[in-house]
């Protein structure tokens, strides 16, 4: 059996041009970790489009016959036009849970497999979602500012927060993250309700609402965990906010565009909903400045799912999907498996 030293020597003896080619359009955050640990460089020729002096179209055309896989993130859309240039691509690996930046229909039509981050982010995303909800309800961040800015000394006690136990919490999107959110909320004594593409047959303990407005009307708080699609874009609109009501709170760790951000800002400014915990925004990194002045809003810079632990797990999953593809084994986290 080949020992590790022989294996490493064999990898090092590979000429770059002999290795399978993987395209990177922009540097995904995971790349720095992958590079540090040589997860990819010894096994694949990484074609970094942003380092080329050629225009992108020319760069892609030059390598069209040899690029077999694309490694991307949300910052680098994989469009039908792009895939039209890359005739040899058979795999798209995204380092994110969401796939809204990938033309999935074009991938299906062209017989291209797609993988995502799977359940790697479920625990950390759920922790952050519940943390944001607690922060908004109990006014933790706002009261921290109250103390730090010396206001407590002059104005006395800060207004009371709201109890979490007993709250009716509607989860929009009961996938991997949504399920973990539900488990945590149960432990806090909340009543969990949900909306999803379809009712989960194995979850009779949670009331299902096919209509988001109806879910909002029966909830004290909404937590958005679903993916961004054409169907979910601006799904949380004025009607949903009205149904949620003046005592309602919204938390979003999905994608910013799932919420009609302008309507949400107006509802928060005019007290039509009670508060919000937001990790994602419609035009990142730009955030509506009106939110900066509101003590009932907690803001986070799209980091809900990222911890050192989840980052390393993501690295292993990305490498595992590439290795499975090039070894003709089943993919680890397929979205489309051709």
Are 104 and 123 in contact by the 8 Å Cβ rule? The answer is no
Residue from 51, 239, 247, 284 carrying the catalytic annotation: 284
Q: At 279, is the secondary structure helix, strand, or coil?
A: coil
What residues form DSSP beta bridges with 76? none
Which residue in this structure is represented by tokens 């909830």? 219
Q: Distance (Å, rounded) from C-alpha 104 to C-alpha 111?
A: 10
Instruction: Confirm whether 53 is a catalytic residue.
Output: no
How far from the centroid of its chain's Cα atoms is residue 177's Cα?
Answer: 10
Residue from 184, 186, 302, 316 carrying the catalytic annotation: 302
Are 299 and 79 in contact by the 8 Å Cβ rule? The answer is no
Please give the C-alpha separations between residue 73 and each of 8, 24, 219, 278, 308, in angstroms, as whole numbers.
29, 9, 33, 21, 18
Q: Distance (Å, rounded) from C-alpha 99 to C-alpha 24?
A: 16
Name the nearest CA neighbour of 97 among 326, 279, 291: 279
Instruction: Confirm whether 255 is a catalytic residue.
Output: yes
Are 132 and 184 in contact by the 8 Å Cβ rule? The answer is no
One-character DSSP codes across 96-125 = SS--TTB-HHHHHHHT-EEE--TTTTHHHH
Q: Given CA atoms 28, 98, 278, 166 in this order, what sign does their dihedral have?
A: negative
Q: Distance (Å, rounded) from C-alpha 105 to C-alpha 236?
A: 25
Q: Distance (Å, rounded) from C-alpha 110 to C-alpha 23?
A: 17
Residue from 180, 255, 261, 263 carrying the catalytic annotation: 255
Instruction: Confirm whether 309 is a catalytic residue.
Output: no
Which residues are tagged catalytic? 255, 284, 302
């Amino acid at each position: 059996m080949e020992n590790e030293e022989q294996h490493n020597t064999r990898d090092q003896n590979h000429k770059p041009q002999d290795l399978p080619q993987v395209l990177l359009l922009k540097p995904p955050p995971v790349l720095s970790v992958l590079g540090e640990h040589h997860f990819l460089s010894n096994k694949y020729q990484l074609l970094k489009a942003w380092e080329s002096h050629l225009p992108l179209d020319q760069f892609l055309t030059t390598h069209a016959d040899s690029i077999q896989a694309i490694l991307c993130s949300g910052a680098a859309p994989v469009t039908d036009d792009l895939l039209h240039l890359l005739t040899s691509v058979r795999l798209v690996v995204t380092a994110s849970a969401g796939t809204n930046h990938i033309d999935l229909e074009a991938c299906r039509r062209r017989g291209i497999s797609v993988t995502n981050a799977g359940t790697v982010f479920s625990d950390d995303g759920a922790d952050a979602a519940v943390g944001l909800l607690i922060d908004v309800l109990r006014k933790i961040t706002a009261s921290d500012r109250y103390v730090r800015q010396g206001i407590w000394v002059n104005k006395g006690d800060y207004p009371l927060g709201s109890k979490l136990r007993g709250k009716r919490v509607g989860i929009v999107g009961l996938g991997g993250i949504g399920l973990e959110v539900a488990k945590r909320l149960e432990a806090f004594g909340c009543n969990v309700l949900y909306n999803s593409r379809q009712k989960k047959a194995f979850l009779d303990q949670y009331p299902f609402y096919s209509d988001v407005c109806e879910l909002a009307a029966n909830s004290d708080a909404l937590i958005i965990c679903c993916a961004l699609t054409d169907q979910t874009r601006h799904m949380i609109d004025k009607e949903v906010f009205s149904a949620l009501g003046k005592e309602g709170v919204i938390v979003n760790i999905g994608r910013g565009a799932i919420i009609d951000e302008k309507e949400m800002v107006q509802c928060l400014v005019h007290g039509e909903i009670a508060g919000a915990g937001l990790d994602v925004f419609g035009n990142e990194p730009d955030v509506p400045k009106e939110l900066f002045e509101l003590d009932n809003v907690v803001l986070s810079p799209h980091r809900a799912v990222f911890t050192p632990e989840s980052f390393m797990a993501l690295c292993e999953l990305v490498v595992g999907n590439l290795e499975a593809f090039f070894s003709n084994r089943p993919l680890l986290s397929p979205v489309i498996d051709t």
